[in-house]
């Protein structure tokens, strides 16, 4: 990190050591990451299971993470699997408040919520009265009521419990990807060796490009595209806040398509993937979005693999085969199944032989033997039809993927069976600095070369297991590559491009992160350089006449409000690991209310804090239809015209907790476009180097208002 006051904020010795250690052998590297993934997986499982074990079903329901006294109704096949609607036992009864949302994984149980064989499904729809989830395979009959035929949809009281649960699939896919690294050859071996520092990246010259899809790209963005398109192995596009990372990434994708390449685009989050899909679709690119339709933005559903497959003749033939198979299985209803007291230990072959001979066996009459043989023949016929349907379905998938210009998915979904056997000329990973290295390796096993887009000066991925974090899981692949091959972005042969022009922030807001994190290389575009609240029609006379006017002055783009002169101590709620500061929360609420009364739209304001409890306190102090409130971590990747930030900490020990992470403050202050108001106790928060430097910056370049 670069200058605070002409000096440097150095990456810690421990961090450097961890990054340097990753020049280890391929097998040691893969083994270490596999172990860390397992630690993280176990931590997440423990977190969910610990709560299920320690809390009653009623307590889980009170916390919004379970629903009791539910019943299931079979809704048949649909996009993504077999759909089940889950409702209250009592007809017409609304569901209580809960945290279950579309795209979440839920587990259904009846007696023991921790049984390994409880069905889990993806939520596809949530209403006030029901939750619909997609399951693959179809859940057992007890979910719908004992004895029901699969094709019936009677409403049956089942006494079910529905729990919000953990998804284990991403961990399995990370481990599968890592297992390929020790024996990798060809392109994957080169990607592995460059990523671990064992090999140097191939030297290339920027590619000449005459026709640009986005003619508004600036010089730095165009240079990044040229270098990314030319790379033979890996290239990094470093995009600080507001510099157009995704805009640049999509131009890379389109230029690769123009060159006739097969292209895969991924990101850690569904939201980031949807952003790429939306941009490409608007430009007329033929894009296919992998992933469960429930996790895809509604307006992009037509671009999903499921939706596009349905339009193919091959898929329709597959469905016809499947319908025939179910019709064959229906004919089994009138026959004796070879199970229980009728099988009597006989193998399928023995049953068929006895039927051909017209003989019974140990108390089983010949007619029962014949029925069981007929049942087996129908099962074999149905299985063959299902196999044919599955083969046609895979053929339809390959048709759609082969015709697409760009295939888009989350990192995790790139590890699904859908891409088995598929290798892409170019992979672009957006938000690469918010994904763990094992997550990035999932799509990289399908690529000949990779372009990683992100900003390692913002928050890394959240790691739940502290041992895994300490041993390096929080260090991203982007960060590792930038460290091992550290040269100036403009240097010949550099694997990193820096996007320099930002279009979001007033130059005063930009100034502090620019000098602190980005070596002073950023410049504000003319469209953003001088933007203030005055441009929104907020007159100074509409603001309160007290000290709030100096804080909310439309011409003051960056303000630090120092609470060290008032009694504003932090607190910790009983049983909570979070923090809150009631006096700061009240002040933030007053400032927000004053902005609203001055005519600022609620949608233009965001109130953020590092701590959940402070966000909750502020949220309760504001009107229900007021501005958005969130944690700093939750607001990463977002922006608003005005951002008010509560730092919370105020104590005589200089204890600053979460604030002792420079990148968290970088994220916080760079969310604002026209005005950033930071509220905190300078005598406490200045214990952090970055925050101490910020206080001085506000005093000399922005505005500092003591209370």
> Could you read off the pLDDT of 397-451 as tens digits, one per residue?
999 999 999 999 999 999 998 899 899 999 999 999 999 999 999 999 999 999 9
Query: Which of 160-164, 340-344, 630-634 has the least mean pLDDT?
Result: 340-344
- And the tokens for 505? 């922030």
Mean pLDDT across 666-681: 97
Check if the beta carbon of residue 408 is closer than 8 Å to that of residue 273: yes
Per-residue confidence (pLDDT) for residue 147, from 0 to 100: 45
Beta bridge partners of 676: 558, 643
Run of H or E including 84? strand 81-88
Please say whether the beta carbons of 382 and 325 come within 8 A.
Answer: yes
* 558-562 vs 703-706, strand pairing mode: parallel
Cβ neighbours for 705, distance < 8 A, ≥ 6 positions apart: 547, 550, 551, 559, 560, 561, 562
Least confident of 116-120, 147-151, 496-500, 563-567: 147-151
Q: And the tokens for 617?
A: 């306190």
Q: How confident is the model at residue 89 (pLDDT cuts 50, 70, 90)?
A: confident
Please say if the pLDDT value at position 158 is more than 80: no
Provide mean pLDDT across the span 525-546: 89
pLDDT exceeds cutoff 50 at 2: no
Selection from 118, 147, 152 nearest residue 135 by Cα: 118
pLDDT band at 146 (very low <50, low <70, confident <90, very high): low
Average of per-residue pLDDT values in the chain = 89
**pLDDT greater at residue 498 or residue 3:** 498
- Residue 517: closest CA among 295, 334, 321, 665: 665
**Is pLDDT of 103 > 80?**
no
In the chain, pLDDT over 90 holds for what percent of residues? 63
**Which pLDDT belongs to residue 214?**
95
Instruction: Please state the φ and ψ torsions of residue 146, each to the nearest 5 degrees.
Output: -60, 135
pLDDT at 346: 85
pLDDT of residue 454: 96
Cβ atoms within 10 Å, residue 680: 27
Gap between the Cα atoms of 464 and 459, Å rounded? 14
The predicted model gives 493-506 an average pLDDT of 92
Say what the pLDDT of residue 488 is. 59
647 CB-near residues (< 8 Å, 6+ apart)? 584, 609, 610, 659, 678, 679, 680, 681, 685, 691
Q: How confident is the model at residue 489 (pLDDT cuts 50, 70, 90)?
A: low
Predicted local distance difference test score (pLDDT) of residue 381:
94
- CB atoms under 10 Å from CB of 250, counted, come to 28
- Mean pLDDT over residues 12-29, rounded? 59
pLDDT of 243 above 80: yes
Task: Return the pLDDT at 79.
Answer: 64
Q: Side-chain half-sphere of 431: how many Cα atoms within 13 Å?
A: 23
Q: Specify burial of residue 234 (Cβ count, 10 A radius: 0-12, 13-18, 19+).
A: buried
State how beta strands 263-267 and 426-430 pair: parallel
Lowest-pLDDT choice from 194-208, 569-583, 625-639: 194-208
**Confidence class of residue 145 from pLDDT cuts 50, 70 and 90?**
confident
Instruction: Give the strand pairing for 672-680 and 558-562.
Output: parallel
Mean predicted confidence (pLDDT) in 35-39: 96
Q: Which of 206-210, 335-339, 412-416, 609-613 has the lowest mean pLDDT?
A: 335-339
Say how far apart CA 208 and CA 25 lie, in whole Å. Answer: 37
pLDDT band at 638 (very low <50, low <70, confident <90, very high): very high
Q: How far apart (Å, rounded) are the C-alpha atoms in residues 444 and 266?
A: 10
CATH class, domain 172-286+407-499, is alpha beta
Does the pLDDT of residue 689 top 60, yes or no?
yes
Residue 154's pLDDT is 39
Confidence of residue 152 (pLDDT cuts 50, 70, 90): very low
Interacting residues of 180 by C-beta distance below 8 A, sequence separation 6+ = 188, 445
Residue partners of 627: CB distance under 8 A and separation at least 6: 592, 596, 602, 603, 604, 605, 606, 607
Query: What is the C-alpha to C-alpha distance for residues 95 and 129, in angstroms, rounded to an integer?
Result: 5
Mean pLDDT within 147-164: 57
Looking at residues 108-128, what average pLDDT do you find? 86
- Mean pLDDT, range 239-245, rounded to an integer: 96
Q: Average pLDDT of 170-180? A: 94
Do 656 and 649 touch, CB atoms closer than 8 A?
yes
Q: What value, to the nearest 5°, has the Cα angle with vertex 271 and ends 241 and 448?
A: 85
Task: List C-alpha distances in Å: 155 to 89, 128, 136, 669.
Answer: 9, 18, 21, 53
- The residue behind tokens 């592995």 is 192
pLDDT tens column, 41-65: 989 888 888 888 888 899 999 888 8
Angle (CA) 556 560 566, round 5° = 130
Q: How far apart are alpha carbons 601 and 618 in whole angstroms?
A: 18
What's the distance, Cα to Cα, between the start and end of the chain in Å? Answer: 32
Whether 680 contacts 563, CB under 8 Å: yes
Q: Using one digit for the tens of pLDDT, what is the confidence trace for 250-261?
A: 999 999 999 999
As a whole number of angstroms, the distance between CA 231 and CA 254 comes to 15
The predicted structure's pLDDT at residue 491:
64
Average pLDDT over residues 673-678: 98
For the chain, the domains span 59-145+157-166, 172-286+407-499, 313-401, 517-706
CA distance 674 to 604: 10
* Lowest mean pLDDT across 143-147, 289-293, 500-504: 143-147
**Paired tokens of 610:** 């590092």
- CB–CB of 245/237 below 8 Å? yes
Residue 84 confidence (pLDDT) above 50: yes
pLDDT value at residue 493: 67
Instruction: Quote the CATH superfamily of domain 517-706.
Output: P-loop containing nucleotide triphosphate hydrolases (3.40.50.300)
pLDDT score at 487? 65
For helices 437-444 and 26-54, what crossing angle results, to 10°? 120
Residues 6+ apart with CB under 8 A from 457: 1, 240, 513, 517, 518, 663, 666
Q: Which residue has the tokens 């790429």?
A: 276
Q: Do domains 59-145+157-166 and 172-286+407-499 have the same CATH topology?
A: no
> Cα 9 to chain center, whole Å?
30
CB 84, CB 90: distance < 8 Å:
no
Query: d(Cα 7, Cα 5) in Å, to the nearest integer?
Result: 5
Q: In this structure, which topology does domain 59-145+157-166 adopt according to CATH?
A: Elongation Factor Tu (Ef-tu); domain 3 (2.40.30)
Let me know: does 267 contact 245? Beta carbons within 8 Å.
no
Decide which of 677 and 127 is more confident: 677
Confidence of residue 23 (pLDDT cuts 50, 70, 90): low
Question: Residue 172 and residue 174: Cα distance in Å, rounded?
Answer: 5
Closest by alpha carbon to 397, among 467, 281, 318? 318
Q: Which helix (H) or strand (E) holds 36?
A: helix 26-54
Identify which has the larger pLDDT, 510 or 158.
510
Cα–Cα distances (Å) from 604 to 328, 545, 551, 609, 654, in that order, read 60, 23, 17, 17, 34
In this predicted structure, the answer to whether residue 10 has a pLDDT above a threshold of 60 is: no
Asked if residues 234 and 194 have their Cβ atoms less than 8 Å apart, the reply is yes
């Amino acid at each position: 990190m670069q200058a605070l006051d002409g000096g440097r904020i150095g990456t810690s010795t421990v961090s450097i050591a961890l990054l340097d250690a990753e020049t280890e052998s391929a097998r040691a590297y893969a083994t270490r990451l596999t172990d860390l993934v397992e630690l993280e997986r176990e931590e997440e499982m423990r977190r969910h299971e610990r709560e299920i074990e320690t809390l009653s079903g009623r307590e889980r329901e009170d916390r919004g993470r379970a629903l009791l006294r539910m019943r299931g109704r079979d809704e048949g096949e649909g996009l993504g699997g077999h759909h089940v609607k889950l409702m209250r036992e009592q007809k017409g009864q609304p569901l209580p408040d809960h945290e279950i949302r579309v795209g979440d994984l839920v587990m259904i149980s009846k007696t023991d919520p921790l049984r390994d064989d409880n069905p889990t499904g993806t939520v596809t729809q949530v209403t006030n009265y029901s939750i619909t989830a997609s399951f693959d395979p179809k859940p057992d009959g007890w979910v719908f009521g004992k004895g029901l035929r699969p094709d019936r949809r009677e409403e049956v009281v089942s006494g079910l419990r529905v729990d919000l649960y953990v998804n284990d699939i991403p961990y399995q896919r990370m481990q599968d990807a890592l297992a390929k690294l020790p024996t990798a050859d060809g392109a994957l071996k080169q990607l592995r060796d460059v990523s671990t520092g064992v090999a140097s990246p191939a030297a290339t010259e920027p590619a000449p490009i005459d026709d640009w899809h986005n003619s508004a790209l600036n010089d730095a963005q165009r240079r990044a595209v040229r270098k990314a398109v030319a790379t033979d192995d890996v290239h990094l596009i470093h995009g600080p806040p507001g510099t157009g990372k995704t805009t640049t990434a999509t131009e890379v994708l389109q230029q690769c398509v123009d060159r006739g390449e097969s292209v895969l685009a991924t990101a850690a989050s569904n939201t980031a993937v949807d952003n790429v899909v939306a941009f490409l679709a608007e430009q007329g690119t033929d894009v296919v979005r992998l992933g469960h339709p429930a996790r895809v933005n509604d307006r992009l559903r037509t671009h999903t693999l499921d939706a596009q497959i349905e339009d193919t003749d091959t898929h329709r033939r597959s469905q016809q085969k499947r319908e025939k198979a179910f019709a064959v299985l229906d004919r089994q209803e009138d026959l004796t199944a070879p199970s229980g007291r009728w099988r009597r230990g006989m193998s399928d072959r023995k049953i068929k032989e006895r039927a051909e001979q017209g003989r019974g066996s140990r108390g089983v009459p010949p007619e029962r033997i014949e029925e069981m043989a007929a049942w087996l023949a129908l099962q074999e016929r149905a299985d063959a039809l299902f196999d044919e349907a599955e083969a046609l379905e895979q053929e339809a998938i390959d048709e759609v993927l082969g015709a697409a210009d760009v295939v888009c998915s989350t990192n995790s979904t790139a590890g699904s069976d859908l891409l088995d056997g598929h290798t892409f000329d170019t992979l672009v990973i957006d938000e690469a600095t918010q994904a763990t290295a094992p997550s990035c390796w999932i799509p990289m096993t399908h690529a000949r070369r990779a372009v990683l887009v992100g900003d390692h000066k913002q928050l890394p991925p959240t790691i739940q297991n502290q041992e895994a974090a300490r041993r390096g899981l929080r260090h991203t692949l982007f960060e590792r590559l930038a460290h091992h091959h550290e040269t100036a972005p403009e240097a010949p042969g550099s694997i990193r491009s820096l996007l320099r022009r930002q279009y979001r922030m007033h130059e005063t807001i930009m100034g502090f992160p620019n000098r602190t994190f980005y070596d002073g290389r950023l410049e504000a575009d003319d469209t953003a350089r001088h933007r203030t609240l005055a441009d929104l029609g907020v007159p100074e006379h509409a603001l309160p006449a007290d000290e709030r006017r100096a804080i909310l002055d439309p011409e003051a783009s960056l303000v630090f409000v120092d609470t060290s002169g008032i009694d504003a101590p932090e607190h910790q709620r009983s049983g909570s690991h979070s923090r809150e500061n009631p006096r700061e929360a009240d002040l933030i609420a007053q400032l927000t209310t004053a902005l609203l009364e001055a005519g600022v739209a609620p949608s233009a304001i965001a109130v953020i804090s590092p701590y959940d409890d402070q966000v909750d306190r502020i949220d309760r102090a504001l009107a229900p239809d007021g501005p958005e409130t969130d944690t700093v971590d939750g607001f990463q990747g977002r922006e608003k015209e005005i951002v008010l930030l509560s730092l919370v900490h105020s104590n005589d020990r200089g204890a600053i907790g979460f604030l002792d992470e420079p990148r968290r403050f970088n994220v916080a202050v760079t969310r604002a476009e026209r005005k950033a108001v930071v509220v905190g106790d300078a005598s406490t928060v200045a214990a952090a180097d970055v925050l101490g430097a910020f206080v001085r910056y506000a005093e000399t370049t922005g505005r500092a208002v003591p209370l």
